Amino acid sequence: MDHASSEGTVVVITGATSGIGRATAFRMASPEVRLVLVGRNEQKGIEVVSRIRSSSPQCICKFLRADLSSLTEVRELAARINEHHDRVNVLINNAGARFNHFEQTANGLERTFATNHLGHFLLTALILDRMLNAPAARILTVGSGAHFGVNGTPSWVLQRADYERRLAYGMSKLANILFAYELARRLSGTSVTSNAVDPGGVATNLGRNNGWTAWLRHLAYYAAKRELITARQAASHIAYLALADDLTGVTGQYFRDGKVVASSPASRDRIIAQGLWSLSLKLTGLEASVGRAWKYLQPADPL
């Protein structure tokens, strides 16, 4: 990947204070990379930045606090990124959450969908102008094999009576992959690529919101299949996808273990993708004020 700039390679990572995001930040820390780490917990963010500066003194690293489930905070986050960087080379949409019980955001949205999909949709859209400024930029959206459990056309915005945590999480991960693919199609011919990443069964704290029993069951499932990997291993694959020269121009793919694999039929459904895109525009309130990026974001003609 082209690193030629006085600013270095600007990498934005969401969910960077724990798990895969944290491990990816450490894996990518180098003198050539300028890290922008995003997370909800200020104390954890400061700690991660301090540790990275100790282990990689020449790496420029900063933390920006934002809750991805809050559209207001995402807008503020994007404004800060745009203010301090004239371009962004890599965006890793990694932040994710699962909730045992139905929760609503201040905007009245189910929190899993808001955190895992809508926050990343809005952030990507608002900093896309900066990514188009880069000679070669990459957007990586972290999905999950959980998307295979969602069939048919999802009811994206769950209500309290419909809520089931596995369904909510699976739908949010399907949304991540549909978003990555649709974005790749829309950005075809530009300097920006978009791909989805399945990190596999990783031993992180992601499922702790479900309670200890569910979290341990999740780990046991992948351990029994001999597919449980560490956050460091997952981070290594993500860092490769973010920076490897041999992946220049590769877009619209679903990766696992650094290799292209097949995603579900639903994830490749253009009609579902366009419906999700239109809904996401409506729920986030995106409009032409985002600048030239609107050309790639505006509603598409129906298929």
The 10s digit of each residue's pLDDT in 246-273 is 999 999 999 999 999 999 999 999 999 9
Under the banding of pLDDT at 50, 70 and 90, the label for residue 213 is low
Given 163, 169, 221, 254, the catalytic residue: 169
Phi-psi region of 109 (alpha: psi -120 to 50; beta: other; left: phi over 0): beta
> pLDDT: is 203 or 164 the higher one?
164
222 annotated active-site: no
Digit-coded pLDDT (tens) for 104-152: 999 999 999 999 999 999 999 999 999 999 999 999 999 999 999 998 8
Q: Which domains does the chain have, with CATH numbers?
A: 9-200+231-297 (3.40.50.720)
Q: Is the pLDDT of residue 218 over 50?
A: no
Cα–Cα distance, 153 to 46 (Å, whole number): 41
CB contact at 8 A, 200 and 227 = yes
Mean pLDDT of 212-233: 54
Q: Is the pLDDT of residue 209 over 90?
A: no
- Kindly write down the DSSP assignment for every residue of 251-273, as one continuous string: -S-EEETTEE----GGGG-HHHH
Under the banding of pLDDT at 50, 70 and 90, the label for residue 211 is very low
Cα–Cα distances in angstroms (integers) from residue 272 to residues 51, 56, 128, 178, 298, in the given order? 42, 44, 23, 8, 16
